[in-house]
Amino acid sequence: MDIKRIESLLEKYLNAETNLQEETILNNYFTNNNVESHLKVYQPLFSYFNKTKKETYTKTIKLESKRKVNKKWLSVAASIMLMVSVYSEYYIYQKNQAKETYRQTQQAFELLSTTLNKGSNAVGQLKTLENTKNKIFKQ
């Protein structure tokens, strides 16, 4: 193999400018025993890469969730939501109860007003009768 070409490919490799075909050429050259003496320093690098390509990781990886739910805070939040909902329902009930009481009071006042109007009309009739009686008996 041409040593000039290997040196230029090695220079490109060290600058991360090679493609897969060029890296294969370099790998074949450095795994071969016919390496030039000034390039022997790179031979362990390529033999290491060949060795690590064959390695596999057999242990299982346990991934933990990044988000853990704290059950204490969850129960506090649920309690707060329960209290808010009970209070809001109680408030709505009280408001409706007040409206109902107001409506019943209005009906009672209307009934009282009607009764008083009847009494006023009766008193008015009595006054008219009294005036008429006074006119008749005074004269």
* DSSP state at residue 59: S
User: What's the domain count of the chain?
Assistant: 2
pLDDT digits (tens, 9 = 90+) for 114-139: 888 887 777 777 788 788 877 887 75
Reduced to 3 states, what is the DSSP secondary structure of residue 64?
A: coil
Residue 68 is assigned to a structural domain of this protein: no
Residue 85 is assigned to a structural domain of this protein: yes
- Residues with Cβ < 8 Å from 67, sequence gap 6 or more? none
pLDDT digits (tens, 9 = 90+) for 14-57: 898 889 898 888 888 888 888 888 888 888 888 888 888 888 88
Global confidence as pTM: 0.41
Give the pLDDT score at 105: 92
Is the CB of residue 18 less than 8 Å from the CB of residue 26?
Answer: yes
Domain with 109, as residue range(s), is: 75-139
Give the pLDDT score at 83: 92
Residue 60 is assigned to a structural domain of this protein: no
Distance CA 63, CA 76 (A): 28
